[in-house]
Each structure stands twice: as structure tokens, then as C-alpha cells.
Structure 1
């Protein structure tokens, strides 16, 4: 069996930055254990698998460890492959997913993801997170992910995580967001996943389902620009839209090839 494979850098306008995702186009669903093995072989944070369904595509996301309920950068990558590599005729792409129907709208090089809003609520910081972090947060919130609020951008850059301690926490499928008001950007963040082969995710679209409504309230702004401060960095255009959030970004194709499966 031969399957088309693409690797895309998402939430960036240049290669070797943003968040790399692999995209595999299927003709029928393979067993989950095969999808997981493909993802492990790809050795990136997420692999997106999709096939046609009705007027859109059925989309699923896998990390090397598990299937995810929502993934922003791999959704952007899948839409990029359809539009830029497969010449999909419409500027509106519909994906059917575990998180409901997700629409991606395309404006030339810009891809807008229409995702559910996940306003985080005040929470208590688990001891596993507290002991693993070198700097304690000012405030703690939670939606799918823990959202930790810090004083400024410099603090976010200086956060270190003791992975051995951090991995005692089980948040499947969530993670821990650290965030602060930005200097050049409206807000900045980083994202860490316990018990994962990749501790720090380079750019996390799904985290902004919580960051956008939180910072919209804090900054009294419905439109913002955010940066994720990983080593690779990524830029996200953000719009708060009641029960939805719109996340805009660019992408670049790094590689394409063929998977040769028995």
C-alpha cells in the first residue's frame, strides 16, 4: 500500500520554524494501531490523517503516544496540503472531527481555523506541576489544559520544567500553558505536555482556544496577535468570537513523499 505523506511547518512563513506536522491522505481508515505506528515513525508532535466525507473530510490527529481530541497546527497543515498541494477548489474546507465540525477559510496565504472557545476557569495548581516548575505562577486556570498566568514575557522565556517530576502528572489529552502579556505581541505563551516524547510543543493552536477568550477579557480586545515562545517560535492571529475562536496562520511545505506499507 502506498500513501501520500507531507510534512508542513505550521504557524510560520518560513521553514524550520513554527510547528512541524505530518499529513497522510487515506482512502479508508486503517487500524488505530497502524495510525499510531505511522505517527511514531514520523517522529513529529502530531500527524494528521484524513479522507473524504460528505462535503468535507474526516480528520483525526495522533501524537506518538495517543489520539488527540483537537490539534490546531496539524489542522492547518491538512488544510494547507489540500489547498496548496492538491489544488482543492474552494477557499472553505470542512473537517469532521472529535471536536465537531471545524471549518478552515483561506485568504491567499492565510488559513483561518474556526475552533471551539474553551474559557479557562480558576483552579488549584496540582503539586506535580508546582514542584516541576522553577517559577511559580501568579494565577492558575483550567479548561482542557492548565493555564498558568505570569507577570511578564521575560518570565515566560525563563521557565524551566523538570521533566522527571512533570511526568508524574497525567493530563491525557491535555497539557500546561504558561502565558503572560507580551512586549511586541498582545500575549505570549509556551506549552508543555507531561508523559510525552516531545516535552515542549513548538506552537499549539488548540491552546489558543483557551488563551484567546482569557486574554480578550484581560486586554479588552477581540482581535490580537500572539507568539509562542518555543525555540522554533510561531505567530498566531487571534479573534474572539463568542463561543468560537478564529486562529489565523501561515504554513510552508518542508517535504513530500510516499509511505510504503505492507
Structure 2
């Protein structure tokens, strides 16, 4: 069996930036075991698998170790592949996930825009294990459907983070977002998910379904600029629409190849 493989750098305008994702466009679903093996072999933060279904595309995402409920950068990458290599005829692609529902991607002059459901979250007391893991108590902590979000005072706090990943992995869920006001943008963040097989994710679109409503309320703005401060960096424009969040970024192709199984 041969499967076409695309590797796309998402939330960046240049190769070697943003967050790399693998994309496989399938005629029909492979077994869960095989998709997990492919994702493990790719050894990227996410591999997206896509199957055409009526007017939509069904989509699933796998880290090297687990299937996840939602992934922004791999959805952006999948849309990039469909627009650039499959000649998708309109500027709107509807993806459907059994875990996250309807996910829209629109192609515009400023890039690709994800339309995702806003995360459901609540303010919580910071787990002491996370205070120890990050070496500093945050101003506030929130717990979303899959992630913790810790808010700090300054961008320098986020840049200096060297968390104890062994401790981070003990809190369960998918991962931990750390965030603060930005110097050149409205807010900055980083994302750590050792419990999902990703020590630090370069740019996490789905984390911005939590970050956007939080910062929208704090700053009194609906449209916000954001950067994720991993080594590869990533730039995003976010818009809070109540029960939905729009996240805009660009994507570039790094590799087109073929898997032989």
C-alpha cells in the first residue's frame, strides 16, 4: 500500500518555522493501530488523516503516542494541502471531527482562518505540582476541557520557562499552556504536553480556543495578535466570537512524499 504524505509548516510564512504537521488524504479510513503507527513513525507533534465524506472532510489527529480531540495547526496544514494539491474549488472547507464537531477553514488574502468551537473552561486553584514544575506561581489558573492555562505577568516569564516535564506529565489531560501579555503582540504563550508525547509544541492552534476568550476579556478586545514563543515561533491572529474562535495563520510546504507499507 502506498499513501501520499505531505509535511506542512503551519502558522508561519517560511519553511523551518511554525509547527510542522504531516497530512495524509485517504480514500477510506485505515485502522486506528496503523494510523497511530504512521504518526509514531512521522514523529511530529501531529499527523492529520482526512477522508472525503459527502460535502465535508472527516478529520482525525494523532500525536506520536495518542489520538487527540482537536488540533489547530494540523487542520490548517490539511486545508493547505487540499487547496494547493487537490484543487479544492471554493474558499471554504468544512471538516468534521467526531470529537470536536464542525471545523471550518477559509482561505483569504491574509492566510487560512480556522473557525473552531470556543473551549469550555473555569478558573481554578493552581495545582501545587504545576507551581513546582514551572518554578513560579501564576497570577491565575484555568482548567479547560483538556488543558490547564497558567497566566503570568510578563513575556519574560514565558521566555524563561524551563519546566520539569516529569511533573507536568503528572497533572493528566493533554497539556499545560503558559501565557502572558506580549511586548509586540497582545499575548504570548508556550505549550507543554509530555503526557501526550509532545514535550513542547511549537505552535498550538487549539490552545488558542482557550487563550482567545481569556485575553479578549482581560484586554477588552475581540481581535488579538498572538505569538507562540517556541524555538520555531509562530504568529496568529485570533478573533473571539462567543461560542466560536477564529484563528488565522499561514502555511508552507516542506515535503511531499509517499509512505510504503
- TM-score range normalised by the length of the shorter chain: over 0.9
Query: Which runs of no fewer than 5 residues in structure 1 stay unpaired?
Result: none
2:24 and 2:120 mapped to 1: Cα distance? 32
Give 1:151's match in structure 2, choosing from 130, 150, 153. Answer: 153
Deviation at 1:118, TM superposition (A): 1.5
Which contiguous aligned blocks of 4+ residues in structure 1 show a shift greater than 6 angstroms?
Answer: none
Residue 133 in structure 1 maps to residue 137 in structure 2: no
Q: Indicate the residue corresponding to 1:35 in structure 2.
A: 35
Contact 2:66/2:197 (8 A) holds in 1: no
Partner Cα separation in structure 1 for residue 189 and residue 89 of structure 2: 35
Task: State how far apart, in whole Å, the 1-side matches of 2:110 and 2:25 are.
Answer: 22
CA distance in 1, matches of 2:4, 2:109: 24
Q: For 1:200-252, what per-residue CA distance to the aligned partner results, in whole angstroms no more than 9, with x for missing partners? A: 10000000001001111011000111000111000011111111000000000
Q: CA RMSD in A?
A: 1.1
SS at 1:74's partner residue?
A: helix
Aligned match of 2:175: 175
Asked if 2 retains the 8 angstrom alpha-carbon contact of 1:203 and 1:228, the reply is: yes
The answer to whether the 8 Å contact 1:36/1:65 transfers is yes
Q: Which consecutive unaligned segments of at least 5 residues does structure 2 have? A: none
Aligned residue for 2:9? 9
Aligned residues: 259
Counterpart CA distance in 2 for 1:119 and 1:184 is: 28
- Check whether the contact 1:169–1:194 (CA below 8 A) recurs between aligned residues: no
SS at match of 2:194: coil
| TM value normalised by structure 2 | 0.96
Q: 1:96-116: per-residue Cα shift (whole Å, max 9, x none)?
A: 102001111101461000001
Pick which of 252-261 and 162-171 moved more: 162-171
Matches within 5 A, 1:113-124: 113-124=114-125
* Equivalent position SS for 1:93: strand
In 2: Cα distance, 1:109 partner to 1:90 partner: 16
Partner of 1:226: 226
1:51 is the counterpart of 2:46: no
Contact 2:103 2:114 in 1 (8 A): yes
- CA distance in 2: counterparts of 1:96 and 1:119, whole angstroms: 19
Conserved 8 A contact 1:235-1:249? yes
> Could you tell me how far apart the structure 2 residues matched to 1:108 and 1:83 are?
14
Secondary structure at the counterpart of residue 40 of structure 1: helix
